[in-house]
A and B are shown apart, each in its own frame.
Chain A
Amino acid sequence: MARLNLVLLAVLVACALGLVTSQHQARKRWAELEREQARAQQLEVEFGQLQLEASTWATPARVEQVARERLRMHPPGLKRLQVTDTRTGAAQ
């Protein structure tokens, strides 16, 4: 009887220590999850800012200005225009 009790005591101690470790592990993982979530949010914020920046750069007025001034583009003249039919590909 005493022997059995000793075995059970050993099992109990082992279980208790196991519980402590697993709880510790869980907390560590949890903290990690929290960090990652914070990072995800930070990235989302950055995404928003980049999107804002992108649409500020892509303002039609600015695109036109760059096309005209830096790239020296202009609408084609009449002589260089040819209308084609998209179905047949033939010039009209």
Chain B
Amino acid sequence: MKFADSPVLTPTFPPWRARVVLGLLAAAFGLLAGRAVYLQGWNNDFLRAKGESRYSRSLELPASRGRVLDRNGEALAVSTPVKSIWAIPEDATLSAKQFEALAQALEMPRGELRKRVADTARDFVYLKRQVPPEVADRIAAMKLPGVYQSREYRRYYPAGETAAHVVGFTDVDEVGQEGIELAFQDALAGRAGSRRVIKDRLGQIVEDVESVRPARDGSDVVLALDARVQSLAYRELKRAVEAHRAKGGGIVVLDVGTGEVLALANLPSYNPNNRARLTGEQVRNRAVTDQFEPGSTLKPFTVALALESGHVSPLTTIQTAPGSLTIGPATIRDAHPAGALTVEQVIQKSSNVGAAKIALALPAEHIWGMFDGIGLGAAPRLGFPGEAVGKVRPFKTWRPIEQATMSYGHGISVSLVQLARAYTVFARDGELVPLSLVKVDNPPAGKPLLSQKTAVAVRHMLELAVEPGGTAPRARIMGYRVAGKTGTAHKQEHGGYVPDKYHSSFVGFAPVSRPRLVVAVMIDEPGAGQYYGGQVAAPVFSQVMAGALRLLGVAPDAPMKPIEMPSGVLEVRDSI
């Protein structure tokens, strides 16, 4: 009998059993194949990403914030890299010695540091931000567990308090908070880039995985400011504010040809590099955001309008005797009652009665049109945050007394920048120029407002005002012909005038033969006895204008003769 036919081998199982096993095996294979197809086909991206995350890293490429430069390339705000020191409190188990060394390096109070390191509820805590790189390197060398560093930037302002109001500052995350830093935030801010790389076991980069998205550094902003003129303006303003024990002050220097703001300073100021005790009073950019009653500095515009419309000529006589003028219930007074004055003398002696009489002969609508034309009641659009608009009421609501007082700058309010800009009309043969904080390559076209003849006539009157017999002989400069107008006005508080608080101002330009600069000075509440614009503000104008003309290399247009101050009789005070 053959082995195969042995009855022992005859299967005793039911025949379906083998089929079931075969079926199960086939199903298991099918499952495996299906899983394989799923992993390799549909779920591929997820797995690949998981794999990559084991060896590839995404690195951030830091972008630096652009610099703020003055017109000559001098840096006014620069970012330099610093480190921030942070910790994972749970991992930061420091020995007493390590803790002491860390506290010493960071120059932090022990309690404060202890509190931060011990805060195990959080997984991330800054120990100190903006640490200088040398200190950070020392800390890195200590190899403290759970203490890490990351790179950030800190903004430095080399010009310090001098240009603080123009440049402004950023917060700790380099986001602009004030001034140019805020106004040009978009341009200055960079955009961080990123790259994915493969790193080896030692953490060295082996190659790029994807294309690199490069960091875009913020672009530099070149201001119209001239750091030298700015420094001079700030210094002289500070000297005057201190000498007259004033509450504050502002100064604006404009380039007549281009409308560029060459200097803009305010007091009180602050050091943007150390803003530990900063008050709103210090941060306020007064020249731009504060409005005040300009006083007599507006007289030339009323006179210009009268000249332009042919109502008067420079030599028309106006009777100002007896030095006061009663309109309804109110009376306008002159500081020095005079008899008949020519229109020129009205400006030179700053006669309120004269200006009021000229204004009353003009239609209110035209006067309003003049104020509107020179940019009063509209933001100067410098790009600064919070520019003051000023206040010019619609002419339909003017009463005669208001029309009269507005002619000499009362019942109307302006910012110092608006006032400085308005004077470009006289400096530029009748054109108003748009202002610019950033450097201008192509001088913008001016907006014509007055004829050249009128502008020249008013220039002559303003030149008379700074000569002996005018209100501001202290504004004169050796070697240059100067023109300008003083202003002295009572401060307004709580809706009324304060009898013993004043705004003293002076606005002028030079050299008269070919005006190059407009300088406007305002001193807020001089408290040392003197308060007339010609005594308080005009000397600042003179110092700053003289220095700026020399710095800019403007040719003198007058003989180099020393300036003698007239004796008291010849110096006329403003009518307030």
Which segment, of B74-82, B292-300, B382-390, B415-423, faces chain A? B74-82
Distance A72 CA – B551 CA, assembled complex (angstroms):
20
Nearest-Cβ distance from residue B306 to partner chain A, whole angstroms: 38
Residue B257 CB within 8 A of the other chain: no
**Contact-size category for B:** 20 to 34
Contact across chains for A27 and B228 when beta carbons are under 8 A apart:
no
How many cross-chain pairs have Cβ atoms below 8 Å apart between A and B?
A: 53
Tell me the dominant secondary structure on chain B's binding face: mixed
Contact across chains for B156 and A52 when beta carbons are under 8 A apart:
yes
Contact across chains for A48 and B207 when beta carbons are under 8 A apart:
no
Contact across chains for B74 and A45 when beta carbons are under 8 A apart:
no
Contact across chains for A78 and B560 when beta carbons are under 8 A apart:
yes
Tell me the dominant secondary structure on chain A's binding face: helix
Residue B158 CB within 8 A of the other chain: yes
Contact across chains for A48 and B159 when beta carbons are under 8 A apart:
no
Given known A27-B207, A31-B205, A83-B556, contact A60–B232 (CB-CB < 8 A): yes
Contact across chains for A60 and B75 when beta carbons are under 8 A apart:
no
Contact across chains for A83 and B75 when beta carbons are under 8 A apart:
no
Q: Who on chain B is nearest to A34 by CB?
A: B205
Taking a contact as CB atoms closer than 8 A, the residue among B75, B80, B206, B555 that contacts A45 in the complex is B80
Distance A56 CA – B162 CA, assembled complex (angstroms):
13
Chain A hits for B75, CB < 8 A: 51-52, 54-55
Nearest-Cβ distance from residue A5 to partner chain B, whole angstroms: 33
Contact across chains for B78 and A48 when beta carbons are under 8 A apart:
yes
A-contact bits for B56-78, CB 8 A (1 contact / 0 none): 00000000100000000011001
User: In the complex, which of the residues A48, A55, A81 has the most CB atoms of chain B within 10 Å of its own CB atom?
Assistant: A55
Contact across chains for B78 and A52 when beta carbons are under 8 A apart:
yes
Residue B342 CB within 8 A of the other chain: no
Chain B hits for A15, CB < 8 A: none
Residue A73 CB within 8 A of the other chain: no
Q: Who on chain A is nearest to B550 by CB?
A: A75
Taking a contact as CB atoms closer than 8 A, the residue among B156, B204, B231, B560 that contacts A83 in the complex is B560
Distance A14 CA – B338 CA, assembled complex (angstroms):
111
Distance A8 CA – B553 CA, assembled complex (angstroms):
83
24 contacting pairs across A/B (C-beta < 8 A): A27-B206, A31-B205, A34-B204, A34-B205, A45-B81, A48-B79, A48-B80, A51-B75, A51-B78, A52-B78, A52-B156, A55-B74, A55-B75, A61-B162, A61-B231, A61-B235, A78-B560, A78-B562, A81-B560, A83-B479, A83-B555, A83-B556, A83-B560, A86-B555
